Structure 1
Amino acid sequence: MYMFFIRCFYFYIDIYNFFKIENILKGLHNLESNRQSTISKETRHLSFIRGKFDVLKKFEAFQELEHLRTFLRVLSLSEYVIFELPDSIGGLKHLRYLNLSFTQIKLLPDSVTNLYNLQTLILSNCKHLTRLPSNIGNLISLRHLDVVGCSLQEMPQQIGKLKKLQTLSDFIVAKRGFLGIKELKDLSNLRGKICISKLENELRIEYYGGRKFPNWMCDPSYTKLVALSLIGCIRCISLPSVGQLPLLKKLVIKKMDGVKSVGLEFEVKLNIENCPEMMPEFMQSLPRLELLEIDNSGLPYNLQRLEISKCDKLEKLPRGLQIYTSLADNNVCHLEYLEIEECPSLICFPKGRLPTTLRRLFISNCENLVSLPEDIHVCALEQLIIERCPSLIGFPKGKLPPTLKKLYIRGHPNLKTIPDCLYNLKDLRIEKCENLDLQPHLLRNLTSLASLQITNCENIKVPLSEWGLARLTSLRTLTIGGIFPEATSFSNHHHHLFLLPTTLVELCISRFQNLESLAFLSLQTLTSLRKLDVFRCPKLQSFMPREGLPDMLSELYIRDCPLLIQRCSKEKGEDWPKIAHIPCVKIDDKLILEQ
């Protein structure tokens, strides 16, 4: 790793501004990914174009480059699987540009603040990064700082010393009062957009012991509240009239056992959880669940997201879920997202059509739900996710909306079939539907399908070779497992081999207890295949076509397949020479690379 930084495999320079082009070209060399080439000993400047999976062997040629300059200006480790940086990075005194985006780093070493010439620091989407070095003010030349998508809790106190800063993607206000937006007052060169978060426009009250909330919550000074969370206030019998908060976008109510009334007019998001004592008879007048009856006109017209969770005694949903039937209603419903989770007493939806604005419906762990909305097929749903509703046996009128793009069905032991004519469906996942009898024509018509996952559906009898998958020319990802428990191969008496769509990029095969061979899948024809994942196939011992695996394959994962693992053992297994060229090989979660 020391040579990795010090011998400068990255070196870019503006040749038009500093040197004549004919002079610098004499000492330039380019090392392209996946190509081994001889490098002249006289090379002074070198650039490296990385591949997704690079190995140290590629840099062996660097050892004899005595004239290679060490004045590294640009270093990009974007998307590399690294968890930390060595302290030696602080020795790259000439570094101008450092890109660590999409890496797994959790902390930057303090030595980074020694990079006095650093002008650009890219940390976007470092999701595990929680803080920046306290001495960041030492980066006196820094002009661009990008921390979008990080998990920073606050900004370092010296952020105000970065006088040359021109772009700052985010500024996180400290919760404990030392660092506010006043730190930006001296950054006179800032331009473009900046996102300031954790301002005092959120109020969270937990485990308040009174029966009524204090009057100050309706004070005009709180009218700019955007988010209000009320959690664990078990003695409260009523909630504040949040209709006096015109900017409120998010209301979270959790573990409010005794609440009986709430004012609700302006919410955009409503989240209700852990209210086991809510009774249907008083919920008709409560604007927090089916409480959402405002002046008998149904849901608040501008409500966009409704989540109902862990309401054990809830038997019916609010009547306001259906669309308005009168032309006199001037307010158009805006509900787009409806989530219902862990309501074991819920049996059915109210009569009437769902709002035409509804795009996503998520239903989970409602064990007594016997039916979906009766006119669900005429709404404009794009996503339907139904998980662990064992009493559900089918779909109303055997249909679903033709606008549907994503359909997830999981944990429905009594479900026997799925509707057809889903021509716009792009993502289909079916899991743990033990009695599902999937007919071939249902899949053949899904011509827009890009991702298909069918696992643990043991009742499927139609052989895979008759599914007509080759006709799905938009398919990119295929996952199958836990079906055909007695099958030893994917062929039948009439078909010796069959074709998967050549558009496949990822293929996962799992949980086939008696499967012995994949030879009939014609893997060699999958010219676009980049990822192959095989796991929990204890009897599988052959998956290699005579022609070899596709040239584009860059990731191979094998888990819990003892016979196959033995054949693919590094340098010892019979099939190792056939997979040694694959950049990333993982066997039982252990990464194996040819170093």
Structure 2
Amino acid sequence: MSLFGSGVSLPSNCFKLETLMVQRSFSFVSIVKGFFQGTPALAYLDLSYTVINELPQEIGLLGNLRYLNISHTRIPSLPMELSKLCELRFLLLRDLKSFIIPSGLLEKLVMLSVIDMTNTWCYNWKELSKLRRCVKGVGIVLHSIEDLHELAQLPNVLTWRLGLSKLMGFNEPLQLLSPSLLGSRNILFSIQMLKIECCKGFEVVSMVSDGDSSAHKRCLLRLEEVELKSLPKLKEIVWGRVCPVEMLPSLTVLTISECDNLRNLSWVIRLPSLEDLTVYHCNEMEQIVIVDNEIGLDGEEKNGVGAAGWEFPSLRRLCLKDLRSLTVFGGSFTFPSLEIMHVIDCPEMKALPFGNEMDVRKLKEIRGERQWWQNLDMEDDDRASLQPYLKVQ
């Protein structure tokens, strides 16, 4: 019996069906009328990565539904009938465009513990203020600093994934550790992913403590992933009275792209948990780490710090791409965990970031253009020892 608008067939008797996953079916466009009447036991419904454009009102009949995922679909809003789902705990709404949550819906979802709107622009996201209980994780994209101030004050929202996009009209230094921004208790202890993109105004991202002796208590302990993308005027990331190793102890993935005025990322040497560093399409990036302008343990910049003994203890993947001004990584560091290194379209980079002391036991791949490899300034013996790992782009 065909129960879906796409022609997908299921048995006519589905009264005991508890789990239904039709994700990544690009021919799935709709659910035919009456289908949910025959699935009263359904508890897990995943419609993600399909082209469905509407949830039928009959979804309100699924009194046992606990998990609903409509990420990467064409659905523009939730039906008000969803308010009848008193058992719903997980609501995933990632990567939706111009999304709307009906007024008064969220306050009816009394068991909801996660609502994830990562990479979704929701017109009326302030409906989150009506949540009846504290949700463990919220993913959301905001377009203004004022919205971020309001999010930081919502008592029942612990932000999990945060995107800041455009921030129109904001040209001041972005004071990320401010109590009204990431320093808010509702964000500080829960945020795991931060993405800042397409902000054309500000030149400085500031990681500066207010001098409070308890500043260490406001560390972003759970932040694991940061992406800075399309920030054309960004010149520097300023650290003051805080140190990256204390502020970002769990950061494992850092991606920097299309930041044309950013010239170095010297502070990354202070990230002990960093596993994946990707930097691409930054036209003025000359060095990744400038060791003579490093950040001291107290968070203040210090001069004369040598490269000897410095290492990236956890870095497994290093990707440098389309960095036309990059001449060197910044010295010869130790990479005891390095598995993969990509150097693509970096024509001026003439040296590898490590020397002949490199332990290749974990190394799996060096990827780059043949011309770049041939032009590297290195001894023949070193080139020969690394040749087995070379993958020509």
Q: TM-score, normalised by structure 1?
A: 0.44
Deviations 1:1-55 (CA, angstroms, capped at 9, x unpaired): xxxxxxxxxxxxxxxxxxxxxxxxxxxxxxxxxxxxxxxxxxxxxxxxxxxxxxx
Deviation at 1:267, TM superposition (A): 0.6
State the alpha-carbon separation in 2 of the partners of residues 480 and 334 from structure 1: 37
Identity %: 14
User: Aligned letter for 1:197?
Assistant: N
User: Could you tell me which of 182, 185, 192 is aligned with 1:292?
Assistant: 182
Contact 1:230 1:252 in 2 (8 A): yes
User: Could you tell me which of 240, 244, 257 is aligned with 1:353?
Assistant: 244
Count residues in correspondence: 328
Does residue 177 (structure 1) correspond to residue 59 (structure 2)? The answer is no
State the alpha-carbon separation in 2 of the partners of residues 244 and 269 from structure 1: 19
Contact 2:226 2:254 in 1 (8 A): yes
State the alpha-carbon separation in 2 of the partners of residues 305 and 470 from structure 1: 40
Equivalent residue number for residue 150 of structure 1:
24
Deviations 1:268-302 (CA, angstroms, capped at 9, x unpaired): 110111223222268679778xx32338x9x6122
User: Aligned letter for 1:412?
Assistant: L
Equivalent residue number for residue 416 of structure 1:
327
Deviation at 1:453, TM superposition (A): 0.8
User: Could you tell me which of 137, 140, 144 is aligned with 1:251?
Assistant: 140
Deviation at 1:317, TM superposition (A): 1.7
Equivalent residue number for residue 269 of structure 1:
161
Deviation at 1:462, TM superposition (A): 4.8
User: Could you tell me which of 279, 303, 308 is aligned with 2:191?
Assistant: 303
| Runs of 5+ unmatched residues, structure 2 | 71-77, 83-90, 292-306
Deviation at 1:349, TM superposition (A): 1.6
State the alpha-carbon separation in 1 of the partners of residues 377 and 312 from structure 2: 28
Equivalent residue number for residue 316 of structure 2:
405
State the alpha-carbon separation in 2 of the partners of residues 377 and 390 from structure 1: 24
Equivalent residue number for residue 371 of structure 1:
264
**Secondary structure, counterpart of 2:169 in structure 1:** coil
**Secondary structure, counterpart of 2:194 in structure 1:** strand
User: Aligned letter for 2:363?
Assistant: L
Deviations 1:332-355 (CA, angstroms, capped at 9, x unpaired): 621111110011111122223241
Deviation at 1:450, TM superposition (A): 1.7
**Which structure: larger Rg?**
1
State the alpha-carbon separation in 2 of the partners of residues 363 and 420 from structure 1: 20
User: CA separation of 1:387/1:414 partners in 2, compared to 1, >3 Å: closer, same or farther?
Assistant: same
State the alpha-carbon separation in 1 of the partners of residues 340 and 253 from structure 2: 14
Equivalent residue number for residue 69 of structure 2:
197
Deviations 1:228-266 (CA, angstroms, capped at 9, x unpaired): 588497xx9xx8495665315111124x59868433162
Contact 1:375 1:396 in 2 (8 A): no
User: CA separation of 1:180/1:480 partners in 2, compared to 1, >3 Å: closer, same or farther?
Assistant: same
Does residue 344 (structure 1) correspond to residue 236 (structure 2)? The answer is no
Deviations 1:68-120 (CA, angstroms, capped at 9, x unpaired): xxxxxxxxxxxxxxxxxxxxxxxxxxxxxxxxxxxxxxxxxx9xx7xxxxxxx
Deviations 1:415-453 (CA, angstroms, capped at 9, x unpaired): 223344212111111111111113594596333112221
State the alpha-carbon separation in 1 of the partners of residues 104 and 368 from structure 2: 51
| Runs of 5+ unmatched residues, structure 1 | 1-109, 114-129, 186-192, 209-213, 482-595
Q: CA RMSD in A?
A: 5.1
State the alpha-carbon separation in 1 of the partners of residues 129 and 380 from structure 2: 59
Contact 1:304 1:337 in 2 (8 A): yes
Q: TM-score, normalised by structure 2?
A: 0.63
State the alpha-carbon separation in 1 of the partners of residues 68 and 258 from structure 2: 38
